[in-house]
Structure formats: C-alpha cells, structure tokens
Amino acid sequence: MTIYTCMPLELVFDGFNEQPGPYLDITVGEIRMQIEPLSPGIGKIVRLMDCPLDAYLRPELFPGSIIAYHTAT
C-alpha cells in the first residue's frame, strides 16, 4: 500500500491498531444485528447478521442508524 500525503504519518495512522467495539448481538423481531452501545438502551447499527432480504432495503436498519433496544434480564 502506498500513501501520498503531506500530513504527518502520526495523524494518518492514528487509531489504526485499535480494536473497534465492544459490540452486542441483539435480535429485534426476526432481525439479528450487531450494534455498538451508545448509552443504556440506545445503540448504533454496525451490521445486519441474519434477516430477510427485504430488511436490507429498510432505511431505519441501515448501518449507522440509531435504534432503541432492551436486553433480557
């Protein structure tokens, strides 16, 4: 990989080796998804893992969308 930039490499590669997450796998109805918790009961969709094909076309389920969820206790 070749990178041509006038920026310092420290800025370009900042956070490159950090792991994302923590992620939760939740099921809402018939849709299993991976979310990044933002606060208790609120999360950002990372990806859909198991769902009907038409769920990928629903705008409220796009990656990056904010959803409310609850965990079973």
53: left (phi over 0), alpha (psi -120 to 50) or beta: alpha
- CA–CA gap between residue 68 and residue 13 (Å, rounded): 33
Domain ranges of the chain: 19-68
15: left (phi over 0), alpha (psi -120 to 50) or beta: left
The whole-model pTM stands at: 0.70
For 26, other C-beta atoms within 10 Å of its C-beta total 19
Read off the pLDDT of residues 9-61 as tens digits, 9 standing for 90 and up: 888 888 888 877 789 999 988 999 999 999 999 999 999 999 999 999 999 99
Read off the pLDDT of residues 30-44 as tens digits, 9 standing for 90 and up: 999 999 999 999 999
